[in-house]
Amino acid sequence: MEESDNQLLDRYAAKDETAFEELVRRHQRTIYDLAYRMLENHADASDLAQKTFVQAFLHLGSFRRESSFRTWLFQIGLNLCRNAIRDRARLSHENVEDYPLVAAEDVFKSVSDAEVRHRLGSAIRRLPERQREALVLRVYHNHAFAEIGTIMSCSEGTAKANYHHAVNKLRQVLLGGEKKP
Amino acid sequence: MSCHDIKEMTVPYLELDLDPARVHEVTAHLESCVSCRNEMESVRQVLVLVKLKDQAVPDPGERFWQDFPEMVRRQLSPPFRRSRTWPVWPAALAAAVVLFIGLWLLMAGQPSEEFRAKGSSTPTSETTSEASRSSSTDDLPDLTEADWDKAWDEDDPDMVLVGLAAPLDLLTLDRLFNDI
């Protein structure tokens, strides 16, 4: 039977080096995935994923096990992503609402269309920070809204609202929904 | 339930995040409202499309995943590693003690010129300073009355010293200042 994260953390606290490796291997792909979706290139994602684990193990004493170790890693990773994105000063200048809308059409007809996929990627990139985080955590990592709230340090309701707004904005861009006043 | 209410509940409805009573109300509304049904379908398609993009993260390769824990470890100083390294302060303390003892031996245990010249065994610091004191006073040349008078006539205290020291040779001067 596979050991739980908490059991591995206990072994790590008892200076068992193999527990460290097992914990990292268990979560490395998930954290890299989060970092890649937020930063969109391998170099930054790799760097940020490593930093996430370094921060986690350096501050293990402050992990009270009220949430899962995975959720805690997501919290750290997301904070690092926010800092990285702010450093780039990319999102502050653009907003999805400024993106030209396409004509309403059946999205399924366009799924294979590279242009639509590109448009979707651009639209996700231009979402406000919190909405994008909620979307990534919900759609790509299947977190429950309560967990998203914990990771984003907000209430479950706020997490839901951010996700709701994100989906609606993507819908506007992709399908040409309601226009800005 | 109005169309506006339905619009607010579209995403929670598709995400199965509504309580059963609400789900029933929304479903009933959708069955009778083409506009809301189209709206719901378009949001559903967006969600499907977004999820399809899930495959967009390229796999960096098995080698990367194999090396990843080691890359993290290199940036980390885990507790079990820290405990294996020697703490700095005992080494610093030991160095300070050795330096102090060395200086003390150098200052207090150095044989005087007389002992070296007479070929005697290494004296203790007590005997050294005593010997040094007695030999210094014994060897001082006598000053004449005229020398004293000349020295006290000078206003500048430094000149008094200079005047007193003038008849002394360098070796005697050195011993004198050491005693002082």
pLDDT at B117 over 60: no
- pLDDT at position A181 is 36
pLDDT tens digits, residue range A120-170? 888 888 899 999 999 989 888 888 889 999 999 999 999 999 998 998 888
Q: What does the pLDDT read at residue A92? A: 52
What is the fold of A1-88?
Rna Polymerase Sigma Factor; Chain: A (1.10.1740)
The shortest C-alpha distance from B86 to chain A (Å) reads 17
Residue of A nearest to B51 (CA): A139
Q: Which of A17, A37, A53, A163 to mutate to test the interface with B (most CBs of B within 10 A)?
A: A53
Q: Residue ranges per domain, chain B?
A: 3-56, 113-179
pLDDT, greater one: A131 or A181: A131
* E runs forming strands in A74-155: none
The more confident residue out of A10 and B179 is A10
- Express as a percent the part of chain B with pLDDT over 90: 15
Q: Do A15 and B56 touch (CB under 8 A)?
A: no
Residue A101: its chain B contacts at CB < 8 A?
none
Residue B165 has pLDDT above 70, yes or no: no
Vertex A121, ends A117 and A122: CA angle to 5°? Answer: 115
Confidence at residue B82, expressed as pLDDT on a 0 to 100 scale: 46
Mutate to test the interface with B, among A37, A167, A173 (most CBs of B within 10 A): A167
CA pair distance A133, A81, nearest whole angstrom: 10
Chain B hits for A140, Cβ within 8 Å: 51, 54
In the prediction, which pLDDT does B163 show?
A: 55
Which of A37, A106, A107 faces B57 most closely, judged by CB atoms? A37
Structure tokens at A84: 């990285």
Q: Which of the 8 DSSP states describes residue B143? A: P
Residue B106: count other Cβ atoms within 10 Å of its Cβ.
9
Look up residue A162 and give its amino acid.
Answer: N
CB-CB neighbors (< 8 A) of B15 in chain A: 138, 163
Highest mean pLDDT among A42-51, B53-62, B108-117: A42-51
**CATH number for the segment(s) A93-181:** 1.10.10.10
A66 to A76, A137, A157, B173: CA distances (angstroms): 15, 19, 20, 80
Q: Which chain A residues have a beta carbon less than 8 Å from that of B12?
A: 160, 164
How much is the pLDDT for B55? 58
Of A143 and B134, which is predicted with more confidence? A143
Nearest chain A residue to B81, by CA? A15
pLDDT band at B123 (very low <50, low <70, confident <90, very high): very low
Mean of pLDDT over chain B: 71
Counting residues of chain A whose pLDDT is more than 90, the rounded percentage is 49
Cβ-Cβ contacts under 8 Å, A36 against chain B: 57
B54 with A167: Cβ contact below 8 A: no
pLDDT for the residue numbered B176: 57
In A, minimum Cα distance to B53 occurs at: A117
Q: How many cross-chain Cβ pairs, A to B, lie less than 8 Å apart?
A: 98
Q: What is the pTM of this model?
A: 0.58
The whole-number pLDDT of residue B12 equals: 81
| Model confidence band, residue A101 (pLDDT cutoffs 50, 70, 90) | very low
Determine, for residues B50 and A135 on separate chains, whether the beta-carbon distance falls below 8 Å.
yes
User: Of A60, A29, A45, which Cα lies nearest the Cα of A140?
Assistant: A29
**B-contacting residues in A 137-156 (Cβ below 8 Å):** 138-140, 145
Q: What is the ipTM of this complex?
A: 0.77
The three-state secondary structure class of B53 is helix
Is A29 an interface residue toward B (CB < 8 Å)?
yes
* Distance set, CA B76 to CA A33, B81, B109 (Å): 22, 9, 50
Does residue A102 sit at the B interface (CB-CB below 8 Å)? Answer: no
Rounded to 10 deg, the angle between the A42-58 and A69-88 helix axes is: 130
Tokens of B117: 């010249």
Q: Please, where in chain A does CATH 1.10.10.10 lie?
A: 93-181
> How far, in Å, CA of B75 to CA of A35, rounded?
18
